[in-house]
């Protein structure tokens, strides 16, 4: 698309569960000449050029004849494909340093919390117990295995390496990450799992990865390491985990603890037994919340680049759904 054909159509904020006013203010600041709307009125469908989506309503993008690009407001894009009427147009993952750092902070926080026996000491505090009767391993004695070596996984791996942890990674396709021992595909999964002390899942949710965090994975992990049985951290998507299997693995000692930020059903139902399990740390899908002020400049830049020369980065492969 050349500058001569530059289009200044509207942006449709098609996101549910978020306060749209925050995004209106951000676009007013970073793109004051661009109109953003939260609903498309009858007769105005042709005025929409771009859509910002998060769990958009089914069919809400289907009848926009001039829609050019769909921008996902989350790190993953599974929420886009829950709508079976998504038009066959470019879908772009929103990648920003802010979003990446938020996820890395969460991963490092949870890894360090388990590594430094945080759950044990909090339990002792509640009972007024002063006891240090367990050897604290050094970081270089612990292997952190990361499932998913995209932008988020690579950044988390880099920070964990600098803290002294041994880091390995597993992905669907071969990846080369400096200082990280990498494995890939079904054939590489068992070799990856058998050395992991802390398993961090940052995989995208696709038909191939749905329910991957199950007994078939937990049963292939080492039985005992410097922290005891392995620890699970899932900050990817709730659909990646089988929650009944996580409970069973904790009961059988295949896992010693888990930190879960995402769940099969969100919000996590009050009746879920996960709430009361002392071996589980629960956070409310807060690992890497999307910030309007951080993401809007990135989106505006992508739109500007696209309108100037047709370039789009971070495109989603619709077949693989990531």
Positions marked active-site: 237, 285
DSSP string, 106-121: HHHHHHHHHHTTHHHH
Two structure tokens written together for 64:
């926009």
> In terms of Cα–Cα distance, which of 101, 102, 111, 96 is closest to 234?
111
The Cα–Cα gap between 231 and 112 comes to 12
The Cα–Cα gap between 292 and 215 comes to 38
Two structure tokens written together for 47:
């005025």
* CA distances for 235 relative to 40, 137, 214, angstroms: 34, 24, 15
DSSP string, 145-165: EEE--SHHHHHHHHHHHHTT-
CB neighbours of residue 30 within 10 Å: 17
> In terms of Cα–Cα distance, which of 12, 5, 21, 77 is closest to 41?
12
CB neighbours of residue 197 within 10 Å: 26
- Cα 288 to the center of its chain, rounded Å: 7
């Amino acid at each position: 698309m050349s500058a001569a054909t530059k289009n200044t159509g509207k942006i449709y904020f098609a996101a549910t569960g978020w306060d749209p006013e925050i995004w209106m203010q951000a676009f007013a600041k970073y793109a004051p000449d661009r109109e953003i709307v939260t609903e498309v009125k009858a007769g105005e469908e042709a005025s929409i050029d771009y859509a910002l989506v998060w769990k958009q309503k089914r069919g809400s993008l289907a009848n926009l004849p001039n829609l050019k690009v769909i921008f996902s407001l989350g790190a993953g894009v599974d929420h886009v494909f829950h709508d079976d009427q998504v038009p066959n147009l470019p879908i772009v993952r929103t990648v920003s340093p802010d979003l990446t750092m938020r996820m890395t902070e969460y991963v490092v926080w949870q890894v360090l919390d388990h590594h430094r026996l945080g759950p044990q000491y909090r339990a002792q505090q509640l009972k007024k117990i002063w006891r240090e009767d367990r050897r604290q391993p050094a970081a270089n004695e612990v292997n952190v295995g990361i499932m998913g070596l995209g932008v988020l996984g690579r950044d988390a791996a880099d920070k964990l390496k600098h803290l002294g942890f041994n880091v390995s990674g597993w992905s669907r396709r071969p990846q080369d990450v400096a200082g990280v021992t990498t494995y890939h595909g079904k054939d590489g999964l068992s070799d990856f799992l058998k050395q992991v002390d802390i398993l961090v899942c940052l995989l995208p949710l696709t038909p191939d990865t749905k329910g991957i965090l199950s007994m078939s994975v937990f049963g292939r992990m080492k039985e005992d390491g410097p922290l005891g049985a392995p620890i699970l951290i899932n900050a990817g998507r709730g659909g990646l985990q089988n929650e009944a299997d996580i409970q069973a693995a904790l009961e059988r000692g295949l896992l010693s603890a888990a930190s879960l930020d995402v769940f099969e059903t969100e919000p996590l139902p009050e009746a879920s037994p996960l709430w009361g399990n002392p071996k589980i740390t629960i956070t409310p899908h807060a690992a890497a919340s999307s910030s309007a002020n951080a993401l809007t400049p990135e989106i505006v830049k992508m739109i500007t680049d696209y309108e100037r020369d047709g370039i789009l980065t971070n495109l989603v492969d619709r077949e693989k759904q990531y």
